[in-house]
């Protein structure tokens, strides 16, 4: 996927625009360059079933997966939480499939990085939520740089206004209990919270605000 640049902003192939600003987080620019705008920032690219992508547009008339997931937000989060300890991208892909009973389409490849594999599931076409597993390594038996990105909407789990959502407070408490510590936050511009683990460069970015979040990204390994 391509990124188009001009003097004011970066535009990804999914149509998401990223201002050239000192406030623009480095992780958000990196994911924009990958074309996976959903990851750790502009989550609607995979999380919404509008014109965010050709795949989403093609499936808009008769989505294979309805807008409302058949599981609750609490069920989803409790199943996802143990996966956030995974350090191997290939195992993450397999564990995610086994945990949620879904299957990723064939991997994407990047010509500039032969070690890259991108497993992307589009909302409505491949699963109920938008999910991306980006792996940067050729050996499935060792830890390699990896990113997991998940995006959803306020309607995915029901009525967010009635608390049917993944609550930010729950996410914070559960991550702290598993050894993650609080990093930086931005509630004025980008609306995200960061959580870090040890000295390995591992990072979780939670997208959204109080009381509900609309996406989450895990980044394992240093650049």
Tell me whether strands 3-5 and 202-208 are parallel, antiparallel or unpaired: unpaired
pLDDT tens digit sequence for 96-151: 999 999 999 999 887 678 888 899 999 999 999 999 999 987 777 776 789 999 99
Does 81 score more than 90 pLDDT? yes
pTM of the entire structure?
A: 0.72
pLDDT-wise least confident of 20-24, 86-90, 147-151, 158-162: 20-24
Residue 153 tokens read as: 């909407």
Q: How far is CA 99 from the centre of its chain?
A: 17
Matching residue, tokens 């949620």: 100
More confident residue, 160 or 83: 83
CA distance 99 to 36: 23
Burial class (CB in 10 A: 0-12, 13-18, 19+), 64: exposed
For the chain, give every domain's residue range. 3-58
Residues paired with 63 in a beta bridge: none
Residues paired with 3 in a beta bridge: 12
């Amino acid at each position: 996927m391509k990124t188009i640049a001009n003097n004011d902003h970066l535009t990804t192939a999914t149509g998401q625009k990223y201002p050239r600003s000192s406030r623009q987080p480095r992780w958000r620019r990196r994911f924009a360059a990958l074309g996976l705008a959903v990851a750790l920032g502009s989550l609607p690219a995979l999380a919404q079933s509008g014109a965010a992508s050709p795949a989403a547009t093609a499936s808009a008339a008769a989505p294979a997966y309805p807008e409302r997931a058949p599981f609750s937000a609490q069920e989803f989060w409790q199943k996802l939480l143990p996966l956030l300890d995974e350090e191997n991208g290939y195992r993450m892909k397999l564990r995610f499939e086994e945990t949620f009973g879904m299957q990723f389409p064939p991997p994407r490849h990047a010509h500039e990085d032969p070690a890259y594999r991108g497993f992307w599931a589009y909302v409505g076409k491949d699963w109920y939520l938008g999910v991306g597993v980006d792996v940067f390594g050729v050996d499935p038996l060792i830890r390699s740089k990896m990113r997991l990105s998940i995006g959803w909407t306020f309607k995915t789990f029901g009525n967010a206004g009635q608390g049917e959502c993944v609550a930010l407070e729950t996410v914070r408490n559960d991550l702290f209990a598993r050894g993650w510590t609080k990093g930086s936050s931005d509630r004025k511009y980008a609306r995200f919270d960061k959580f870090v683990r040890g000295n390995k460069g591992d990072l979780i970015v939670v997208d959204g605000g109080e009381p509900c979040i609309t996406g989450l990204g895990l980044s394992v390994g240093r650049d």
